[in-house]
Structure formats: C-alpha cells, structure tokens
C-alpha cells in the first residue's frame, strides 16, 4: 500500500494596494519535507487584477512571480534565498509580508500524489 504524504500548501495572492487589503489568488505553492518537494503554479488574470487596480505594473508583477518561482525551484539565478534548503525556502516564501505578492498562512494536508494535489489545489483556489 502506498504511503500518504504530509504536505503544506499556501495560496499566492496579488495585493495591488496593500492598504486596501483586496487580493486575487494567482497561485499555489506546495511543500513536502519528506519527499523534498517544493513546487509552485501560478497564472495571472490581468483583467481581474486591473479591476482591482488599473495602474498595476503587470510586467513588474510577472518578474516578481518569476523570482518567487526561481526561489521555489532552487534555481541558480534565484539569488541567495534560492540556495537555501527546501524547508527554509518554503518558510521564506510563506513569511508574512506587506507587499504586492503575499501568501496565505500554510495549511497542512495528506495525499498520495503531490503533483495531483498541486493540480487540484490550483484548480480549486485559483482557476
């Protein structure tokens, strides 16, 4: 019988005007320490974001999300945070911050397939 994996996930949010605290879910990050798994999936809906903030710089937002992804994946061009171990990168990505890109608090779960869980969470929380 296949073991279930204990994982954590957080929703990635874009908060165009942090003072208003309005946000749009744009992605999900999933972490499993035992499997050394840290993956992210995101999609930006520019129309919805422009409804919240007409002057949001979508190019800069895209660059910031790419940096988020590079850190998650441990890319060599992701800077010093991307070179940390997987649990430290997840904790850094999900740290509370007051910026345009924020995450929800991490939530735990159990699953058999981490990739399918990432797909499901992305579908439920973002699409």
- Dihedrals phi, psi of 25, to nearest 5 degrees: -70, 130
Whole-number mean pLDDT of the chain? 95
0.85 exceeded by pTM: yes
Encoded tokens for 123: 């579908």
pLDDT in tens, 97-107: 888 999 999 99
* CB 93 within 8 Å of CB 71: yes
Residue 89 and residue 85: Cα distance in Å, rounded? 6
Rg of the Cα atoms in the chain:
15
Beta-carbon neighbour count of residue 8 at 10 Å? 19
pLDDT in tens, 48-90: 999 999 999 999 999 999 999 999 999 999 999 999 999 999 9
| Count of structural domains within the chain | 1
Residue 75 is part of which domain span? 5-125
């Amino acid at each position: 019988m296949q073991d279930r994996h204990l994982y954590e996930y957080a929703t990635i949010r874009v908060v165009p005007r942090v003072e208003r605290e309005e946000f749009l879910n744009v992605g999900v990050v999933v972490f499993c320490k035992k499997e050394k798994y840290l993956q992210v999936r995101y999609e930006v809906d520019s129309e919805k974001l422009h409804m919240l903030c007409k002057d949001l710089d979508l190019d800069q937002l895209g660059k910031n999300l790419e940096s988020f992804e590079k850190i998650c994946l441990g890319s060599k061009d992701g800077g010093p945070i991307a070179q940390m171990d997987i649990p430290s990168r997840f904790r850094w990505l999900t740290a509370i911050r007051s910026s345009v890109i924020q995450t929800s608090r991490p939530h735990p779960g159990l699953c058999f397939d981490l990739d399918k869980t990432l797909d499901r969470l992305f579908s439920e929380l973002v699409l």
